[in-house]
A and B are shown apart, each in its own frame.
Chain A
Amino acid sequence: SQTIHQWPATLVQPVGSPLSLECTVEGTSNPNLYWYRQAAGRGLQLLFYSVGIGQISSEVPQNLSASRPQDRQFILSSKKLLLSDSGFYLCAWSPTGTGTTGSQYFGPGTRLLVL
């Protein structure tokens, strides 16, 4: 079966510090990968998605970036965090190939607090 991991689970960082969040998927090949952000009590905002290694699409302009160095690894980064970057970051994957429905499966999330 497929599993998705995110770490760290929680993170407290000062303003201006760098960020690296990691997501890995097991049990599948060539998944589509996604990064979402969720503000407290709010909905899901798509930040980035990737359909393959090195292929990143950005949905919103911001000081965050994403990379996909391996097929099942997705990394969210920032060189200098802002207060507004605080939130709950969710990684998700969706299967590819014929017969897939488009459903996405989410990881446990990383709660980021920027002080």
Chain B
Amino acid sequence: GENVEQHPSTLSVQEGDSAVIKCTYSDSASNYFPWYKQELGKGPQLIIDIRSNVGEKKDQRIAVTLNKTAKHFSLHITETQPEDSAVYFCAATSAWSSASKIIFGSGTRLSIRP
């Protein structure tokens, strides 16, 4: 079945540096790739997403890239700040699916060192 692998599982970066989280997916029918940020004790929040007809999307300090051929997609956070500390989940789904079942990666715990 569909599988999404996410790396690394933990990531620690100096404040102001960049952070990169990488994911791979297995189902070539996947065409929508959201990223979620989960702060401690809260539900995951959608922070950015990308569709398969786009190679890159940027929103202020965060950007996502997608390589459909290689089935890779990545989250890039630049100029990291303490409030970026959280667990990040990548996900993949086929938007045509009636139930929109999303396959999530296992998560990356990002820590920003002051």
Contacts and interface: CB of A to CB of B under 8 A. Distances in A.
Interface residues of B, number: 25
Contacts, number: 59
B101 A43 contact: no
Query: A104, A105, A109: which has the most chain B beta carbons within 10 Å?
Result: A104
A105 B43 CA distance: 9
Contact of B104 (A43, A49, A103, A108): A43
A101 B49 contact: yes
Main secondary structure, interface of B, reads: loop
Given A43-B105, A106-B45, A108-B42, A101 B32 contact: yes
Interface residues of A, number: 22
Interface of B: 32, 34, 36, 41-46, 49, 51, 89, 93-95, 97-102, 104-107
